[in-house]
Structure 1
Amino acid sequence: MEDHKNQVKDLEHKEPEDTPPQKQEDKRIQKVEDNVRNLWDNFKRTNIRIMGVPEDEREQDIKNILKEIVTENFPHLVKELDLQVQEAHRTPNKRNPKKITPRQIIIKIPRAKNKERILKAARAKQVVNYKGAPIRLSADFSTETMQARREWQEIFKVMSSKNLTAKDNLSSKAITKNRRPDKELHQ
């Protein structure tokens, strides 16, 4: 009887091991989460996120903000791009309500190519203004993708401090030093 009690106690105190079905379930869950993230990113692929526009802008004027920004900062693109806005809205206040930072604006445009050209021009110019005030333009991604990019940014900072470069952007596994593929990351 004592032996049975000891065996029961031992079983109660043992942590559950990852069984093959549990590992398969974890892989399945991870795959589903990745699919959901990819769906959100695909859904948001034509969105532009604008940060720093003051709150005093009226809601009906938000649709015209992108045209004003492009006209003010990238006049050469105005002629080339057909700047139609499908949707425009401000993000809800999720952060600290005591902060006075303006809510971000999400603008959905019909073509992803136009979004990429605007963002490329913004990166090249580095300082984008709206009515004289500095603002930021960026792509709108899912929360998970943004978190992954933040983590990769740290890796790229370390790599650049060691004069390392990645062959591809975020998907790269092959890392080279001074563009020579035979060098290792740990040198």
Structure 2
Amino acid sequence: MSGGVVTRGRERRDQQNGQNSKTIEQKRDEEQVQHAEANSLALTMRSGLEAISKEIRDLKTEMKKDLTTLKEQVTEDVKSEINDLKREMYQQLSANTKTLQAQGSRIAEAEGRIAETETWNMEVKDALCKSLKQQQMLQDKLTDIEGRSRRNNIRIFGIPEDKEGDSAPKYLHQLLTTELSLPPNVNLQIQRAHRALAQKPNINSPPRSMIVHFLEFTVKEMVLKKAWQKKIVVEGRPLIFDHDYATEVVQKRKAYNGIKKLLKEKGIRFQTPLTKMRIPGTTDRSSTDPHKKQHAMPWQRVGERREGTARSAKEKLQEFERITQDSE
């Protein structure tokens, strides 16, 4: 009995050992299969990685080639654009240089012309100043000649219009002889007598003055002095006797009207011979005093004038006039 139990126990152990050995072999086979699969997978992955690496290397090579080509192309394009820009800038600079050179030459020419114009202008001013001086001298001489031609004249203010009738000399001869109490046999020798050459005024306007021309200067002076000593009234109007001055002299004497009025109001005696005013007890000089200060005109050069510049300006003006006539 005990022997059979032992035998069954052995058999059971043997069975268990056999099963265990089978299990171990199965595990070993499975491990081998798994190991083989792992190796196969590793090989597959390695080959895949190698393929990927190769593709990456090929891609790098292609990209490097493409980048090199692109770099060369970009470099060429940039160089071409830079060269074009340089060419355009050079052309523009050349054009600007030519323009500046042309402007420089024009400016130089303009400066030369301006200098010539300034010189000519100064010469013309000198000639003009000389001409004005000569004109003033001639005007003074003309005024003096006109005054001398009027030295036998008397101008009478205040005679009513048409009072003289048909013969002004006869009326004035009778008026002067009667009002000045002259001897009946005196011969005033009135050569001419007429109204001032102006338009006949209206009824309410002051009458025109009358101008009387005597043959002799002494008679004229005698009549004038007597008229100043006596107040003569015609139709309620006082007559005023004065010298017959030239127009320029009359205009200069009018400048003293305000002063004369003020002196009369203050009772100060004064005289106004020709274009001057003389006040007793003063050292004032007239406006035409030759010793007064001479002031140059604003555009007049100070200093002695050169005759050469005036002559040169005169010649240039004559040449310009001749050219103008030829062109016409």
- Common fold by TM > 0.5: yes
Partner of 2:245: 141
TM-score normalised over the length of structure 1: 0.69
- 2:162 matched residue in structure 1: 56
**Who wins on radius of gyration, i.e. which is larger?**
2
Q: Which has the higher contact order (CA 8 A, sep 6+)?
A: 1
Long gaps (5+) in structure 1: none
SS state of the match for residue 233, structure 2?
strand
Which of residues 107, 112, 134 in structure 2 aligns to 1:28?
Answer: 134
Quote the residue 2:229 is aligned against.
Answer: 124
- Amino acid in structure 1 at the alignment position of 2:234: Y
Give the Cα separation in 1 of the matches to 2:164 and 2:269: 47
C-alpha displacement at 1:44, in angstroms?
1.0
TM-score of the aligned structures, taking structure 2 as reference length = 0.43
Q: What is the root-mean-square deviation of aligned Cα atoms in Å?
A: 4.1
- Change over 3 Å in CA distance of 1:140–1:22 after alignment to 2: same
Q: Deviations over 1:62-93 (max 9, x none)?
A: 11222232233211x33584212111111232
Give distance in 1, aligned partners of 2:260 and 2:186: 33
Offset of 1:57 from its aligned partner? 2.7
Structure 1 residue 31: Cα displacement: 0.9
Q: Is the CA contact 1:53–1:104 (under 8 Å) kept in the aligned structure 2? A: yes
Q: Which runs of 5+ in 2 are unaligned?
A: 1-105, 286-328
**8 Å contact kept, 1:69–1:129:** no
Task: Tell me how far 1:109 sits from its aligned partner.
Answer: 1.0
- 2:150 maps to a residue whose letter is K
The SS at the match of 1:141 is coil
Return closer, same or farther for 1:49/1:78 CA change in 2, 3 Å cut-off.
Answer: farther
Residue 89 in structure 1 maps to residue 194 in structure 2? yes
Q: Distance in 1 between matches of 2:205 and 2:262?
A: 33
- Structure with bigger helix share is 2
Secondary structure at 1:19 match in 2? helix
- Residue 78 of structure 1 aligns to a residue in which SS? coil
Tell me, what secondary structure is at the counterpart of 1:138?
strand
Q: How does 1:1-187 map to 2 (within 5 A)?
A: 1-2=106-107, 19-57=125-163, 59-75=165-181, 77-78=182-183, 81-94=186-199, 100-125=205-230, 127-130=231-234, 133-152=237-256, 154=258, 169=273, 178=281
8 A contact 2:190–2:215 mirrored in 1 = yes
The 8 Å contact of residues 164 and 178 in structure 1, kept in 2 or not, is answered as no
Decide whether aligned partners of structure 1 residues 100 and 164 sit closer, same or farther in structure 2, where only a CA change above 3 A counts.
closer
What is the aligned residue count?
177
